[in-house]
Amino acid sequence: MKIDLNLLNEVTAFIWAEADMLDHYEHEEWLKLWNETGVYIIPIDPALTDYENNLNYAYDNHHMRQLRVNRLDNGEAISTSPKANTVRSVSRVRIVKDDGDEIILRCAQNLREFRKQNLKHYTADVTFHLIRDTEQGFKINRKIINLVNSTDTLAGISYIL
């Protein structure tokens, strides 16, 4: 196995920045990381990969991402008041495909959420589809968040995973 350490460093730096933006509620900056046609997906059943034709927790195109950010930021939703504090660690990054145009990578995400009296823990296997971008290095074409407990019951999540 030959690993392109330069590319690994580049994509890791990019997704670390993405994680940091989400933990610090820099949503407008986060929106700019996306390719206009990109889709943000949180599946329910990891076996059902035809996401468009199955039910997901989230299947956000550009329009829905913007609406989601508005909802989280405008203070109208009672589940965002008080806001959840989150800290996420992203690690175990592996590039699974690089065909020149698109880079697909998998990583592990461990997120801790604290809101009111409750500390919660969400672990996910995250897949990014990135395309190269002359200005910011990469843009996100697809982000798929497979929570390890996605088929179990979850509680309300009013922030971006």
Name the residues that contact another protein, by CB under 8 A: 42, 44-45, 48, 52-59, 64, 67-68, 70-71, 74, 76-80, 151-158, 161
Q: 11 vs 113, which CB is nearer to another protein?
A: 113
Dmax (CA) of the chain:
51
Residue 13: helix, strand or coil by DSSP?
helix
**DSSP labels, 30-98:** HHTTEEEEEEEEEESSTT---GGGS-EEEEE-HHHHHHHHHHHHSS--GGGSSPPEEEEEEEEEEEEEE
CB of 33 to another protein, least distance (A): 19
Q: 41 vs 130, which CB is nearer to another protein?
A: 41
Q: Evaluate whether 22 touches 160 at the Cβ level (below 8 Å).
A: yes
CB of 57 to another protein, least distance (A): 4
Q: 12 vs 158, which CB is nearer to another protein?
A: 158
CA distance 57 to 53: 13
CA distance 103 to 27: 24
Q: 82 vs 100, which CB is nearer to another protein?
A: 82
CB of 48 to another protein, least distance (A): 8
CB of 82 to another protein, least distance (A): 11
